[in-house]
């Protein structure tokens, strides 16, 4: 597999990338965007809570988070369910089983109130996972 990828890379460099011209400004802009791609725990928690304003399954939630560029749960889905369970224990969301054996999660009144509070603050001041889940 490595050999095929190296051949592909060589071909891409020779055929495709040779036609592209990037200015230093453009390169700098790309590097900055890549740095911004990494989401903090605070941003992830806010995104989870925002998506749970309406009832969702864990599977739906993972897909919606991925569409927002949050890929943290792509290969470790279990960690999302741990977060959901802790939020439920803290009384921030409720869950229910539907007839098709799917578990649905949704923020309750306390959770929506907390989300509103968090959204009103700058992202740097948002509560962390630890503050919400353990505090």
Element (DSSP H or E) covering residue 11: helix 2-15
Can you give the pLDDT at residue 39?
A: 67
CA distance 41 to 46: 9
Would you write out the chain's pLDDT as a tens digit for each of its 135 residues? Answer: 577 777 877 776 676 656 667 677 766 766 665 555 556 778 888 899 999 999 999 999 999 999 988 888 878 888 899 889 889 989 999 999 988 889 999 999 999 998 888 888 765 555 565 666 554
Q: Would you kindly state where each structural domain of the chain is located, as residue ranges?
A: 2-35, 39-133
Contact between residue 44 and residue 79 where contact means Cβ atoms under 8 Å apart: no
Can you give the pLDDT at residue 129?
A: 56
SS3 labels along 40-108:
CHHHHHHHHHHHCCCCEEHHHHHHHHHHCCCCCCCCCHHHHHHHHHHHHHCCCEEEEECCCCCEEEEEC
Can you give the pLDDT at residue 9?
A: 74
Tokens read off for 128: 């962390």
Q: Which of 50, 55, 53 has its CA nearest to residue 65?
A: 50
CATH code of the domain occupying 39-133:
1.10.10.10
Q: Which of 116, 113, 129 has its CA nearest to residue 45?
A: 129
Beta bridge partners of residue 82, listed in sequence order: none
């Amino acid at each position: 597999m490595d050999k095929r990828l190296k051949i592909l890379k060589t071909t891409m460099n020779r055929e495709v990338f040779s036609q592209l011209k990037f200015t230093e400004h453009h390169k700098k802009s790309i590097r900055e965007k890549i740095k911004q791609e990494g989401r903090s725990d605070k941003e992830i928690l806010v995104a989870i809570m925002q998506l749970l304003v309406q009832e969702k399954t864990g599977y739906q939630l993972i897909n919606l988070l991925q569409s927002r560029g949050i890929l943290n749960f792509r290969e470790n889905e279990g960690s999302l369910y741990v977060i959901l369970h802790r939020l439920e224990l803290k009384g921030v969301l409720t869950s229910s089983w539907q007839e098709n054996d799917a578990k649905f999660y949704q923020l309750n009144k306390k959770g929506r109130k907390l989300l509103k509070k968090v959204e009103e603050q700058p992202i740097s001041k948002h509560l962390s996972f630890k503050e919400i889940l353990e505090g």
